[in-house]
Structure 1
């Protein structure tokens, strides 16, 4: 299962890449004498386009086979086994998943609303003590 980025982030990266590529191409084609910065604009645009393609393909998080993987560009992928999570901390809307050795921070501002609801459901289903997770009901209904 993939936890998707907000569409706004993807579109922003695409627009920024198009602007930089256009600006770099214009400077290279139009200038009589080229400067290194003219190529820099083009390279910056290609890097932003690469970020867009990466985010579109892999999205923000992947949850598969009991492992949560935070997909990062250029090999900065972090993963954590869901069975090893000992604490889920929520601060300013972001989640921090902790194990004995690792920690992953999840920025919820980057996540699509429907995907965030799915993530909350998955994290809420983990068997953690109520003081170590924000997903428990502090006032359970008793019958």
Structure 2
């Protein structure tokens, strides 16, 4: 199951990339030549466009039968069978293993994919509660 980023985030990154590219290209048209500022602005525009493209194609979260992976820089992944605690607090879903903690921001999840993720999260917390009632806690 793949959970996408919010469209707003992708659109903002695309617009920022386009704006920086237009500003950088305008330096060439104004005759400023090849200065470091021109290359810096063009590089910034390219970075934003690449970021928006990767967020569109690689989605925010990838959930398989074995693991949960966040596709951001730096990427994180944890194995589902190693999760000992799952909770929801202050707009964050928190998954903990013995050695790692993963926070998933609800504000970054596409509203169309949010019910799928909440169903997965509720199933996970109910399994954890049934297996180890002292180590996990319920979403409040």
Shorter-chain TM range is: 0.7 to 0.9
**Residue correspondence of structure 1 range 61-76 to structure 2 within 5 A:** 61-73=61-73, 76=74
Paired with 1:27 and 1:37, the residues of 2 have a C-alpha distance of: 9
Q: Corresponding residue for 1:38? A: 38
Across the aligned residues of Structure 1 and Structure 2, the Cα RMSD in angstroms comes to 1.7
Deviations 1:60-118 (A, max 9, x none): 00011321100014xx2111111211111322111111000111111110111221211
> Please, what TM-score do these two structures have when normalized by structure 2?
0.87
1:21 aligned to 2:13? Answer: no
- Unaligned residue ranges in structure 2 (runs of 5+): none
1:55 aligned to 2:55? Answer: yes
Counterpart of 2:25 in 1: which secondary structure?
helix
- Unaligned residue ranges in structure 1 (runs of 5+): 137-143
Q: Corresponding residue for 1:90? A: 88
Paired with 1:117 and 1:21, the residues of 2 have a C-alpha distance of: 37
Paired with 2:86 and 2:115, the residues of 1 have a C-alpha distance of: 16
Q: Corresponding residue for 1:133? A: 137
Paired with 1:24 and 1:106, the residues of 2 have a C-alpha distance of: 35
Counterpart of 1:114 in 2: which secondary structure?
coil
Q: Corresponding residue for 2:112? A: 114
1:123/1:135 contact within 8 Å kept: no
Deviations 1:116-139 (A, max 9, x none): 211111111121126623348xxx
Shift in Å, 1:50? 0.6
Shift in Å, 1:33? 4.4
